Amino acid sequence: MKEIKAYIHNNSIADVIHAVKESGLCNTNGCRNLAVVPVKILLKAMDAKEQRYSIELAEAVINESKLELVCEDHQMDELVGIIERAARTGQAEAGWIYVTDIVKAIPVGAVHE
């Protein structure tokens, strides 16, 4: 299994979620735990209106979204491609997609020995 995390501009996140859902890959048991988390990123802003100063971080930041999902190994390339295409902004660096291996997955409530 793989975990995909993608840091995406807020103006693209709805398109990414729609594209992932439309693919049908997350309508099966193979793709799960689709989540979107608001984050503050130190990436270059697409324009100055995006950027804010964070008192907590003492840095200029932009509000972004982190998309997370877990999928089967054979779904990874297709899902990464879908996310990458839907998240494009025309900017050279519009975010990042990371893929990691899941060593173990345990459903909450399962009985373990």
Q: DSSP characters for 14-52? A: HHHHHHHHHHSGGGSTTEEEEEEEEEEE-SPPSSGGGEE
Half-sphere exposure at residue 69, Cβ-oriented, CA atoms within 13 angstroms: 24
Q: To the nearest whole percent, how much of the chain has pLDDT over 90?
A: 43
> 81, 98, 99, 96: which is closest to 41 by C-alpha?
96
Which pLDDT tens digit goes with each residue over 37-64?
988 776 666 566 666 665 665 677 778 8
pLDDT in the model for residue 57? 56
Residue 28 has pLDDT above 80, yes or no: no
Rounded to 5°, angle at Cα 38 from 45 and 91: 25
pLDDT in the model for residue 113? 59
Domains along the chain with CATH numbers: 2-101 (3.30.70.120)
Partnered with residue 100 across adjacent β-strands are 3
Helices (H), the chain: 10-23, 76-87
| pTM of structure | 0.80
Which pLDDT tens digit goes with each residue over 63-110?
889 999 999 999 999 999 999 999 988 777 778 999 999 999 888 886
